[in-house]
Amino acid sequence: MDLATHQRKLLGLIRSTYQVCPNDDAYIHAVAQSQDLIEARRNIFLWRIYVLERTCPLTLRLLKGRGLLEEAVSAFIAEHNISPFRETQGPAFLDMLSSHTDQLIASVAQFELALMKVRQGDSSSYTISWDVEPHNILYSLAKDIPITDEVPKGVYHILVSSELPSLFQIVCLE
């Protein structure tokens, strides 16, 4: 087996995206069954959580509250080439979640990503659509308070821009 194929298989084992075949060499079989692989996956997962808790806390708290944190981080590890630089991991994670099927997760991720960009000097303006009232959601996430099930529905936009005094503004469209 050539080196590139060998390395791709090892990466697939670490990401849990490669299934060992009967014709794989003995080393690949040994790695696939090792406790070291389990420990490596666990360490990578915990390191991603550590970085993401510090770079995108609102989205992580929402995922944790909905019981989707492990699933989302595991998908991020499996599906993305993650840079070793912490500064790029949060934006990549939020970008992935910006199209989540749960509209609230998508809206929070889009908001947090836009705010992150503006804080880093991006002069663009962003508009994030919400189908629920965002004030209490954002307050609860910022204070790490559980979100109630009784979230008022509505049509809202959050504008994010360096031109705004607090960098964002919530607008009710109804």
Start-end of H helices in the chain:
3-15, 26-32, 35-55, 57-65, 69-79, 86-97, 103-119, 134-143
Quote the pLDDT of residue 16: 87
Exposure class string for 40-68: b at 16+ Cβ within 10 A, else e: ebeeeeeebeebbeebbebbbbbbeeeeb
- Per-residue pLDDT tens digits for 123-132: 999 999 999 9
CA distances from residue 88 to 13, 76, 147, 163 in whole angstroms, order as listed = 24, 13, 28, 25
Strand partners, 156: 130, 172
Model confidence pTM above 0.75: yes
Length of the chain: 174
In tens digits, what is the pLDDT along the chain, a chain of 174 residues? 789 998 999 989 998 889 999 999 999 999 999 999 999 999 989 999 999 999 999 999 999 999 999 999 999 988 888 877 888 999 999 999 999 999 999 999 999 999 999 999 999 999 999 999 999 999 999 999 998 778 889 999 999 999 999 999 999 998
∠ CA 60-63-68, rounded to 5°: 135
**Per-residue pLDDT at 35:** 96
Q: What single-letter DSSP state applies at residue 33?
A: T
